[in-house]
A and B are shown apart, each in its own frame.
Chain A
Amino acid sequence: MRKIIALLTALSVVCLAGCGTAGGAAPTSQGASGDVIRIGVFEPSTGDSASGGKKEILGMQYANSETPTVEVGGKTYNVELVLADNGSSADKAPSAASELVGKNVSLVLGSYGSGVSMAGGPKFDEAGLAAIGVTCTNPNVTAGNDYYFRICFLDNFQADVLANFAIDKFSAKKAYCLGENGNEYDQGLIVFFKQVFEAAGGEVIADSFPTNNSDFTSYLNKAKSEGADVIFTPVSIAYAKQIMEQAASLDIGIPFLGSDTLDDNMVLEATKGTNLQLFVSTFYQEGGSETFDKGIKDYINSNSDAMTANGGNDTISAVTAMGYDAYYVALEAIKAAGSPDKTAIKGAIPQVTWDGVSGSIAFDEIGDAVRDTAYIKTADTASGTWAFEKVQTGSSAQ
């Protein structure tokens, strides 16, 4: 009897799988008419970075709903986004990348998080498929890979901006840095921050916490007892949220500096109604483009899935704006190439320029975006929104 039940369960799963494949094989209703250009979306939707990845996808989906077609050589193509989940982990990324390659996409957008981009990169390289990184900020993503481009700034630039901001705004002499052990994003930013901050005569105390840590009170108390002027926490969203909540209950009273990952409504929510001071550097400031803000808010509010992906409210994350811009950069590249052919598109990308909502985008010879400014915004704890602080440039030396 037990075996029969088990077999039935297994059978129903297989049936479900069968249905799905049938559904997948049949052209979807929207894509049935006309020719289709596929754009691969290489993003995490499970694992540690799922939250950020989904918000980035949201921007692309909104852009796709806004401009679902592209005209190439007098012919109108429908643009279809093909999603592949890289699971936020380097061992799942290669198969997600080859999934996209196998689906004949013309180019790839993504990913959120540099580690997965570096793991998937060689697959794109081998397949001769161009990838445009959206918010992967590690220098090694594009270095040594001809096929990887990116539209965001780099870790060293961001750390430089924040170190300068700390010195300008708070005349900080002592900074406490806290990052996750073994996370290249956190540790990279901290090392660069330390270089700039110490060069300016400051003192840096750096600490790392083990993965899956939840008690940050010891670290925060340490920062306080060491007399730090600022606390720099370039950590991923879940940790940032945890740190903010605990800092609020400890009444820490030291301003926090965060990197682009902290520009997230989950983190913002944690600061609401507290007396925390949080400043983050980011790619996009809400209010930068009114039409975009209004459009994406309508899109989020009219679509419950989008609402869930955005964490339950309609605050715009910078990564969403970046995803939106990435989509338009991709369209520009397709237009410039004059064909849906991946090799032609790869050849066209370096010349593409685009005035996006996050600023103007152009590529340098390595494939990185030419960007020299970042937005600094601060959490308005009374209303639970982001407030614009200033536009910060890096040190002149950079």
Chain B
Amino acid sequence: MKDRKKSFSAFIGICVLLIFVIILENISGFVPNVPQVLEPTSPLFTVLKKAAVYSLVAVTMNLLNGFTGLFSLGQAGFMLLGAYTYAILTVPTAMKEQVYYLFGGCAFDFSLLDMFEGIFGSSGAGGAVSMILACLIAIVLAGCVAGVFAYLIGIPVLRLKSDYLAIATLGFAEIIRAIFQWQKLGKVTNGANMIKGFPTFSSFNITDGAGNTILRLSTFVPFLISSVCILLIVLLIHSSYGRAFMAIRDDEVAAEAMGVNLFKHKMLSFVISSFFAGVGGALFAMYVANAQAKAFTSVMTYEILLIVVIGGIGSVSGSVIATFLYVACSEWWLRFLDSEHYIGSFKVPLLRNGFRMVVFSVVIMVIVLFFSQGIMGNREINIGALFKKRRPKAERKQ
């Protein structure tokens, strides 16, 4: 009973958030003279989009590292698989010649977008339906490809313990990247070149016949997809499978003794995490409007890992909050540290290109060393409880 009430309030909370995002994004259309920051081209929305995408990936990483106790560093590799699957499936065939210009076109002469446009038409409501369907199916397939690869990789590596698992998954991510960059596969992966021209978040803005934007949904879409995925992950964590995951994290031997099939549950967690990482990769491709293997390096995995740590290992809401703070700090609020500034005639020392990243890494070290529980520890924000007295759950034993 109490649980149902809780999930109902969480559901309401997400709906309110999504409506708020739509209003926020379109406020400049209704209210004249809004502050600069609310203009649709403001960095605010770029940061929101990126954070929405990264929060999904951070939660998938938390599912592995925080809830199942599997130290995996392969997230960038699965994102890469997702991004490429999405990109290859949705680039319109008419664009392929231009995009694959080094290879004389794509070997994969098919596009979900064209297929649905053939059925529903390419303009007006039919165009909208076909794009939504194409994108959705491509995103799901992106997740599936990542999941299948995770299954294949998981068979050998999930037998490994902690650090060894970390380094093996990191290695797999590097191998996948090298394969996707290989010029010989250029007809499919476009080699070193980026794949572009597929529908991005901005394609979801609703325009009238003259090309004027009526309703902006480009920030709403990543929020919607991410929150649905995160919701699914939360449901999984609260299911009996989730409890088995946590049992494995807390004590493998005890969990096995209680009848938890270690390998099966680890594999389940790994495949599901990778599925959503693949979805995250597809969203990432939509965010940067291209897919290129060069972007999915181990640095990206480390970044996501740091987000998870800052948010608190074992807290979904922590990961989400940390993502928004992290992305906003690194890409927006701290940017001024990169250029010279004057207070009156006093030149602020040290401010120079690259200083932002130094300050940023110092902050990260401080968090890692002194607040190793992160922002949320392993607690969760309980939306229902926000209105009542806050009652943190008892600290779980590490």
Contact = CB atoms under 8 A, between A and B. Distances in A.
Contacts of B99: 140
A215 interface: no
Contacts of B359: 13, 16
> SS class of chain A's interface: helix, strand, loop or mixed?
helix
Contact of B181 (A16, A95, A182): A182
B291 to A, nearest CB: 9
Contacts, number: 176
Contacts of B162: none
A391 interface: no
A3 interface: yes
B288 A187 contact: no
Given A29-B345, A99-B332, A208-B183, A182 B41 contact: no
A181 interface: yes
Contacts of A140: 98-99, 101, 193-194, 196
B194 A184 contact: yes
A248 interface: no
Interface string A117-144: 0110111001100000000001110011
B214 to A, nearest CB: 15
Interface in B290-310: 290, 292-295, 297, 300
Interface in A78-101: 83-85, 89-99, 101
A26 interface: yes
A23 B339 CA distance: 11
Interface in A273-298: none
B67 interface: no
Contacts of A2: 370
B290 A119 contact: yes
Interface string A1-38: 01101100110010011011111101011000000000
B338 A45 contact: yes
Nearest to B346: A23
A102 to B, nearest CB: 5
B37 interface: yes
A125 to B, nearest CB: 9
Interface in B342-395: 342-343, 345, 348, 351-354, 356-357, 359, 362-363, 366, 369-371
B353 A45 contact: yes
B337 A20 contact: yes
A45 B287 CA distance: 22
A246 interface: no
B184 to A, nearest CB: 10
Contacts of A102: 36-37, 39, 41-44
B341 A23 contact: yes
Interface stretch (B21-29, B45-53, B143-151): B45-53
A247 B241 CA distance: 58
A13 B362 CA distance: 9
B191 interface: yes
B121 interface: no
A2 B202 CA distance: 47
B343 A22 contact: yes
B254 interface: no
A186 interface: yes
Nearest to B54: A91
> SS class of chain B's interface: helix, strand, loop or mixed?
helix
A9 B369 CA distance: 12
B380 to A, nearest CB: 23
Interface string A318-329: 000000000000
Nearest to B190: A184
A172 interface: no
Contact of A95 (B290, B331, B345): B331
B128 interface: no
Interface residue range, chain A: 35 or more
B194 A90 contact: yes
Contact of B348 (A5, A23, A210): A23
Interface in A139-196: 139-140, 143-144, 181-184, 186-188, 191
A11 to B, nearest CB: 11
B369 A6 contact: yes
Interface string B262-301: 0000000000000000000000100111101111010010
A45 B354 contact: yes
Contacts of B284: 91
A85 B339 CA distance: 10
Nearest to B335: A99
B104 to A, nearest CB: 10
Among A13, A20, A21, max chain B CB count under 10 A is at: A20
B15 interface: no
Interface string B312-343: 00000000000000000001111111110111
A119 B288 contact: yes
Contact of B192 (A17, A96, A139, A186): A186
B197 interface: yes
Contact of A17 (B46, B202, B290, B334): B334
B294 A92 contact: no
B33 to A, nearest CB: 14
Nearest to A95: B331
Contacts of B41: 98, 101-102, 123, 126-127
B96 interface: no
Contacts of A23: 336, 341-343, 348
Contacts of A3: 370-371
A217 interface: no
Contacts of B295: 89-91
Contacts of B183: 181, 187, 191, 206, 208
Nearest to B205: A126
B43 A98 contact: yes
A90 B284 CA distance: 11
Contacts of A184: 192-194, 292, 294
Contact of A126 (B98, B182, B202): B202
Given A98-B42, A102-B39, 15 more contacts: A6-B371, A16-B359, A20-B348, A23-B336, A28-B342, A46-B353, A85-B356, A95-B50, A140-B196, A181-B192, A182-B177, A182-B180, A182-B292, A187-B193, A191-B183
9 contacts: A13-B362, A17-B337, A84-B335, A90-B292, A91-B284, A126-B202, A181-B182, A208-B183, A211-B297
Which 5 A-B pairs have CB atoms at the shortest separation, nearest pair first? Answer: A182-B181, A6-B370, A23-B341, A187-B192, A45-B353
